[in-house]
Amino acid sequence: MTARILLVEDDPTTCAFLATAARGVPAEVDVADSCATALALAGDADRHDLWLIDANLPDGDGAGLLATLRARGLRAAALAHTATRDHDALADLRAAGFRDVLVKPMPVDALQAAVRAALSRQVRDAAPAVLPETSADAWDDAAALAALNGEQAHVDALRKLFVAELPAACGVVRKAAQAGDVGAVRAALHRLRASCSFVGAARLTAAVAELQDSPDSAQALERFEQATQDTLSSVPVGAAD
Domain spans, the chain: 3-125, 135-240
- What's the pLDDT score for residue 206? 87
- What's the pLDDT score for residue 61? 95
Q: Give the mean pLDDT of the chain.
A: 86
Give the type of residue at 123: V
Range 21-46 average pLDDT: 94
Q: What is the pLDDT of residues 184-240, one digit of tens each?
A: 888 888 878 878 877 888 889 889 888 887 888 888 899 999 999 999 998 876 666
* Residue with more model confidence, 81 or 2: 81
Which one, of 50, 6, 8, lies nearest residue 29 by Cα? 6
- What's the pLDDT score for residue 4? 95
The fold for domain 135-240 equals Four Helix Bundle (Hemerythrin (Met), subunit A) (1.20.120)
- What's the pLDDT score for residue 154? 86
Q: What is the pLDDT of residues 118-133, one digit of tens each?
A: 888 755 444 444 444 4
Whether 91 has a pLDDT exceeding 70, the answer reads yes
Which one, of 2, 40, 5, lies nearest residue 20 by Cα? 5
CATH top class, domain 3-125 = alpha beta
